[in-house]
Chain A
Amino acid sequence: MEIIKYLGDILATEISISPPAARGLLKLAIKDQIGPFKKLAEIDLNDLQNVIKGSLSKRLIELEVNDPEIIIDLIENELILNQSLITITKI
């Protein structure tokens, strides 16, 4: 899912970890919030917004990352700006 790749790259830059690790963190946050049964391809904008504000925020706090609120706002903003990636890349 290209949107995860895109948001993962931004998250990686913000908290200074490698992009694969940031993507992994995002996928774990998705698993926490939505559960293991929904496929990544079935996730919509609303799901991702909930993931970012919910489980991703929680995980960033657990990891003691500096200014998690600012990072969460940035990621959510990037998601909204590039929301078309969720569906355009499905086809």
Chain B
Amino acid sequence: MAIEQILKACFSSLMIVFLGTLLIVGLFLIIRAYQLKATNFYYIGLAWSTEALAQIINQVTSIPESIYAIFSKLSFMLIILFIILTFYNHQKPKKKYYILSIAFLLAILAWFFAAFRTTSQVAYVINRIFDFIINSIALDWLAYCCYITYRHIKNSTIAQWVKMRYKITFIFSPILTLIYLILIFHPYNVPFGDETNTQSLIFYALTAIITFIYGISFAIAWVFPRKFNRKFSKKRVKTEEEIDEDKIMDLIKNQLSTRKSNGDH
């Protein structure tokens, strides 16, 4: 077996880990969304599992690009929905629909270019650029929202796993968009990861490494902390149950009167 084939097999394994992780975490989020009645998590869970399933089916059966692109663009729309419902839920419905309509138009355009990407090199490059733009909008916007929240909560007493979740998301989401940037320069009419084409193999390796890192960090951010959270919650149950209105109001009144008697305004 040639060294190129061995390398490709190694990088393919990394990609399988990434897709597997994406699918598992996506399904996990859908289940949790159902259990907790958290609608926005249906969207993000569906986005990741749709993307993973489409890529797996594409690798195994080589479905037409136009079909694969539907799932890929659907995933983009679902991430935008998640961002709106999670970070901008206070906005008026009209504004939300306006943003969603723009995203939908972009998804349609991206799908159109994807469907015709094999017709010419120009169409191929335009498709890659559009893919980069829409994925950058979704993932970098998500990263930006997480960064802003993280900046507010980083010095607060909020649990560390929550801060870590935001931190991982804003650090690693933009990294994933790098793949779409790399793919703009992938040679035309060469299968992705072709062992006989060094440039394609290098791009394949970079993609595999980036997605692998993303997959692991993504799983840590969304699945692992829940375990710590459960243990933490069990310790807190007692204090949550011990709320006594009179005691709390007396405590606050005492604290306020002490503050006033100390001349603190």
Contact = CB atoms under 8 A, between A and B. Distances in A.
Interface in B233-265: 240, 243, 245, 248-249, 251-253, 255-256, 259, 264-265
B222 interface: yes
Nearest to A42: B37
Interface residues of B, number: 41
Q: Which residue, A45, A82, A88, has most C-beta atoms of chain B within 10 A?
A: A88
A91 B36 contact: yes
Which label, helix, strand, loop or mixed, suits the secondary structure of the A interface?
Answer: helix
Given A9-B156, A15-B256, A28-B245, A88 B90 contact: no
B36 A6 contact: no
B252 A25 contact: yes
Nearest to A27: B243
Contacts of B157: 5, 9, 19
B32 interface: yes
A87 interface: yes
B180 interface: no
A45 B145 CA distance: 17
A9 to B, nearest CB: 5
A9 B159 CA distance: 13
Interface in B152-205: 152-153, 156-159, 162, 165-166
A87 B208 CA distance: 31
Given A27-B243, A42-B37, A91-B32, A84 B256 contact: no
A75 to B, nearest CB: 13
Contacts of A19: 157
A63 B162 contact: no
Contacts of A15: 256
B243 A91 contact: no
6 contacts: A21-B248, A31-B245, A82-B153, A89-B229, A90-B32, A91-B32
Interface of B: 29, 32, 36-38, 40-41, 85-87, 89-90, 145-146, 148-149, 152-153, 156-159, 162, 165-166, 222, 226, 229, 240, 243, 245, 248-249, 251-253, 255-256, 259, 264-265
Interface of A: 2, 5-6, 9, 15-19, 21, 24-25, 27-28, 31, 40-42, 45, 49, 63-66, 78, 80-85, 87-91
